[in-house]
Amino acid sequence: MYRIFLLATALLLSQTAPTFAQDIVLGQSVALTGPAQELGKEMQLGAKTYFDAVNAAGGVRGIKIVLRTLDDGYEPPRAEANTKKFVEDGDVLALFGYVGTPTSAASIPVASKAKVPFFGGFTGAELLRTPMNRYVFNVRASYFDETEAIVRQMTQGGVTRIAVFHQNDSYGQAGLAGVERALTKRQHQVVTKATVERNSTDVAAAVAAMLAAKPEVIIMVSAYSSCAEFIKQIKAKDLPTRFVNVSFVGTKPLAKALGADADGVMISQVMPPPTANKFPVIVEYQKALKAAGVTDFSYTSLEGYIAAKVFVEALRRGGDASSEALITALHSLRNVDIGGFNVSFGPDNHNASTFVELTVLNRRAKSDIEPQQAGISTIMVRNMLLSSRLAVRCNGR
Cα–Cα distance, 140 to 178 (Å, whole number): 16
Residue 219 in domain? yes
Question: Does pLDDT of 373 surpass 50?
Answer: no
Cα–Cα distance, 364 to 64 (Å, whole number): 44
The answer to whether residues 243 and 336 belong to one domain is no
CA distance readout (Å), 9 to 18, 20, 21, 90: 16, 20, 18, 20
Q: What's the confidence (pLDDT) of residue 21?
A: 52
Query: Of 203, 263, 256, 191, which is closest to residue 234 (Cα–Cα)?
Result: 203
Taking residues 300-311, what's their average pLDDT? 98
Residue 134 in domain? yes
The answer to whether residues 231 and 372 belong to one domain is yes
Instruction: Judge contact between 95 and 305, C-beta under 8 A.
Output: no
Buried b (16+ CB within 10 A) or exposed e, 184-212: eeeebebbbbbbbebbebebeebbebbee
What is the per-residue pLDDT across 32-75, written as a single tens digit (0 to 9) for each? 999 999 999 999 999 999 999 999 999 999 999 999 999 999 99
The answer to whether residues 224 and 252 belong to one domain is yes
What is the per-residue pLDDT across 332-345, written as a single tens digit (0 to 9) for each? 999 999 999 999 99
How crowded is residue 113: how many other Cβ atoms within 10 Å of its Cβ? 10
Q: What is the pTM of this model?
A: 0.87
How crowded is residue 350: how many other Cβ atoms within 10 Å of its Cβ? 23
Residue 349 in domain? no
Which residues sit opposite 118 in a β-bridge? Answer: 95, 136
Instruction: Judge contact between 120 and 345, C-beta under 8 A.
Output: no
Residue 351 in domain? no
Q: What's the confidence (pLDDT) of residue 252?
A: 94
Residue 308 in domain? yes
The answer to whether residues 148 and 259 belong to one domain is yes
Taking residues 318-325, what's their average pLDDT? 96
Residue 350 in domain? no
Tell me the residue ranges of DSSP E strands in the chain: 23-30, 64-71, 92-96, 118-119, 136-137, 162-167, 193-196, 217-221, 242-245, 266-269, 336-337, 342-343, 356-362, 375-382, 385-388, 392-393
Query: Of 351, 363, 384, 395, which is closest to residue 148 (Cα–Cα)?
Result: 384
Cα separation of the two ends of the chain: 71
Query: Of 230, 232, 279, 270, which is closest to residue 251 (Cα–Cα)?
Result: 270
The answer to whether residues 330 and 227 belong to one domain is no
The answer to whether residues 177 and 261 belong to one domain is yes
Q: What's the confidence (pLDDT) of residue 276?
A: 93
Query: Which comes out higher in pLDDT, residue 37 or 387?
Result: 37
Instruction: Judge contact between 302 and 274, C-beta under 8 A.
Output: yes
What is the per-residue pLDDT across 66-111, written as a single tens digit (0 to 9) for each? 999 999 999 999 999 999 999 999 999 999 999 999 999 999 999 9
Q: What percent of the chain has pLDDT over 90?
A: 85
Q: What's the confidence (pLDDT) of residue 362?
A: 82
Number of domains in the chain: 2
User: Counting every residue, how long is the chain?
Assistant: 397
The answer to whether residues 246 and 373 belong to one domain is yes
Query: Which comes out higher in pLDDT, residue 12 or 277?
Result: 277
Residue 85 in domain? yes
CATH code, 115: 3.40.50.2300
Domain that holds residue 188: 143-273+356-393
The answer to whether residues 126 and 214 belong to one domain is no
Q: What's the confidence (pLDDT) of residue 389?
A: 30
Query: Which of 173-187, 286-300, 366-380 is least confident?
Result: 366-380
How far from chain centre, in Å, is Cα 201?
21
What is the per-residue pLDDT across 187-201, written as a single tens digit (0 to 9) for each? 999 999 999 999 999
Q: What's the confidence (pLDDT) of residue 93?
A: 98
The answer to whether residues 293 and 261 belong to one domain is no
Question: Does pLDDT of 5 surpass 60?
Answer: no
Cα–Cα distance, 139 to 307 (Å, whole number): 6
The answer to whether residues 191 and 308 belong to one domain is no
Question: Does pLDDT of 16 surpass 90?
Answer: no
Residue 348 in domain? no
The answer to whether residues 251 and 370 belong to one domain is yes
Q: What's the confidence (pLDDT) of residue 22?
A: 86
Q: What's the confidence (pLDDT) of residue 367?
A: 24
Question: Which residues, 6 or more positions from 79, have their beta carbon under 8 angstroms from its beta carbon?
Answer: 29, 72, 98, 100, 102, 103, 104, 106, 107
Question: Does pLDDT of 17 surpass 60?
Answer: no
How far from chain centre, in Å, is Cα 77?
20
Question: Does pLDDT of 380 surpass 90?
Answer: no
Q: What's the confidence (pLDDT) of residue 299?
A: 97
Question: Does pLDDT of 292 surpass 70?
Answer: yes
The answer to whether residues 158 and 209 belong to one domain is yes
